[in-house]
Structure 1
């Protein structure tokens, strides 16, 4: 099987890059697929996550000086790579409109999958736009979404749900729980949709009662978001740390006792799955979409009404005060998260690939 992934870039520290590194590496190293990844103006230098050495990388230069040169260079660059590779399957991992328009630009000569990693709210925020884009999305051979909640948002589209995977890592549970510290962890880029401003407002309530606990946030910083000013306003600099992206994030999961997801919307919530794989009890807003598909409320974590800062703080405080419940959630999370192992998810992708090639 010969695969071609088309994405904007793989140098970042986001969820899309993380997932692609896991899947693409597994497909080439375990399934012996020929995997190609095409990026746009990325250069493939200083890649944040680890990709298999067996993957073939292609980078094309897109001229962004005006819309006409952009479209021309985009089409010609990708077309040249496709003609050179002759893939069996093309997978478009681009949440922007140009990714959605792929069938219009390139036709349907090769089975093509559109893989959506973002919530619908990211750029399809009106009924009219969805009405206009839906016929184009149905030109893809399959539209792959990450959660059942997302599938409901894209009614009328030829879609299928395949969850994001985590790598199969065997840790000694006793060792994991011995490493826990008084740390609440959050991971993600400092963007509006990640809701770290909401988390800081919740933490103000937590800090008043438990000043010895720390909130550590890891992700690409954005000074324009004003998170530092908000921390200073509430005098929380002693208990909140804003950190740059951490490549060895596993060590941070191991030491965390609680994971907090404060997003306004999510495509999936990869960080929840990763946290649970390290036995971390999770608290998450019930944002669209992902957390409800991952956390079993009251069993391995808590789901809180979306945007309710006070209830979010209450659940964090409850887990801080009840160590036995934290450990119970953590042990249960280790079991429940196994359904996301790459071994299981890769088989779903393999069935889809084979089906599309057979129907070609």
Structure 2
């Protein structure tokens, strides 16, 4: 399928290294498929580089330097590469927004597209979250949270930058239909014909786990995540694990893959509570082997967009048990069929459903098969078909499409 023909697309993002997070991984997967279909993809970024990308297709910029030089370098790069479409991948820094405004003036008829790779209200969770009084620094955290909430009444940078990008762009793309209503309410926008669209993330891997490989899985419960408590809430998973009956836990292992600022705190918690069956692997480049050998996947995040790790788990038959803290989870997981969705951070229900899966091999196997089947709608070819409609010169035919028929 090719709608737009050979176009030159310029991605703006923080990093172009796939291992550095979900957004660079999505861009890497999508751009490779677009290139395979005849497009040319270029990148402006400010953080982690990728040595596998040709030097003439990327421009690394420095926000700490002179703004005029930053703008001049980007404008020169856009002109030199004859860019047809400008695409913002979750990039909300003010220097970029200033550049985007200039690009709109110089190229008023070239499409400018913006993606939000999070739930619209992701920044609000820091206010809603309960303070953990068991922490020695709870008073400090409470003061910071209250101060932030007061400041945000008068000046909310998230509202300001997201609103600016929405007003600048031709199309604003969310990861789930379920995000549309809250976006319009939070950012006080009226519904416009076809301006707010949905395109979900694609699967990471080319191949699906084979049916016969499910029986070879080990008794491993898997977490693949950035180890940062403010969003990922790994401490909740560790508490659930501690609450499991020892007779159930005896033959299982909880494997936590990833790194982050709270890694040491998690290790200390596991040590203090004698959780010897918890294994921390650190950051891993090649994560597919962990999916392939694991049986159950845990996600305890307080917010997400459409998490790549959840799609990756299902693609590899790792049955998810997930808190429903983000509405898009219902796009991916069919509760009781391809995994379990636990409501309102209910730790005891989480423990019970996890225990049920660990103790019932037949149930795990059936849910694994269902997970693989349901993930196929997110294959990169299906998702890039939607991107191609988005990249077409006319937007009238672009519609929000959820590839999973529930």
Alignment partner of 1:175 is 2:212: yes
Structure 2 residue 112 is the aligned partner of structure 1 residue 115 = no
Residue 84 of structure 1 corresponds to 80
Matched, 1:187 2:224: yes
2:68 to 72, 95, 112: 72
1:104 to 101, 104, 110: 101
CA RMSD of aligned residues (A): 2.6
1:105 Cα deviation from its structure 2 partner: 4.6
**Worse overlay, 338-347 or 104-113:** 104-113
| Matched residue, 1:318 | 356
- 2:57 alignment partner, SS class: strand
Question: CA distance change for structure 1 residues 140 and 172 in 2, over 3 Å: closer, same or farther?
Answer: closer
| Equivalent of 1:265 in 298, 303, 306 | 303
Deviates more, 1:135-144 or 1:100-109: 100-109
Check 1:356–1:242 CA distance in 2 against 1; reply closer, same or farther (3 A cut).
farther
SS of residue in 2 equivalent to 1:241 = strand
- Structure 1 residue 358: deviation in Å? 9.2
Distance 1:223 1:300, change over 3 A: closer
Distance 1:141 1:331, change over 3 A: same
* Corresponding position: 1:201 with 2:239: yes
Match of 2:268 in 1: 229
Structure 1 residue aligned with 2:90, among 68, 91, 94?
A: 94
Deviations 1:194-235 (A, max 9, x none): 111111111111263423211111112324772112112211
1:162 maps to which of 196, 199, 206: 199
Distance 1:184 1:341 in 2: 25
Q: Secondary structure at the match of 1:226?
A: helix
Aligned residues: 347
Alpha-carbon shift at residue 123 of structure 1 (Å): 4.3
Deviates more, 1:99-108 or 1:347-356: 99-108
State the partner residue of 2:368.
Answer: 330
1:139 is aligned, of 162, 168, 173, to: 168
Q: Cα–Cα, structure 1 residues 134 and 234, in superposed 2: closer, same or farther, change >3 Å?
A: same
What is the DSSP-based 3-state SS (H/G/I as helix, E as strand, rest coil) of the residue aligned with 1:32?
coil
The 1:102–1:226 alpha-carbon spacing in structure 2 relative to 1, beyond 3 Å, is farther
1:56/1:271 CA distance change after superposition, 3 Å: farther
Larger Rg: 2
Establish whether residue 302 from structure 1 lines up as the match of residue 337 from structure 2: no
Question: Is contact 1:214-1:240 (8 Å) kept?
Answer: yes
TM-score by length of 2: 0.78
Q: CA deviation at 1:332?
A: 0.9
Which 5+ residue runs of structure 2 have no aligned equivalent? 1-6, 126-151, 398-406
TM-score by length of 1: 0.87
User: Which residue in 1 is equivalent to 2:384?
Assistant: 346
Contact 1:100 1:114 in 2 (8 A): no
Question: 1:335 and 1:78, CA in 2 relative to 1: closer, same or farther beyond 3 A?
Answer: same
Cα distance, 1:225–1:16 mapped onto 2, change above 3 Å: farther
* Equivalent residue, structure 2, for 1:285: 323
Is residue 215–residue 240 contact of structure 1 (8 Å, CA) maintained in 2? yes
Deviations 1:88-133 (A, max 9, x none): 1111113434356654353252311111112334447768747655
Q: Which residue of 1 aligns with 2:135?
A: none
Cα deviation code 1:51-100 (max 9, x no counterpart): 7x7x95313331516xxx3x434323322211211211111113434356
Aligned mates of 2:363, 2:215 — CA distance in 1: 15
Q: Distance in 2 between matches of 1:119 and 1:100?
A: 20
User: Shift in Å at residue 191 of structure 1?
Assistant: 1.2
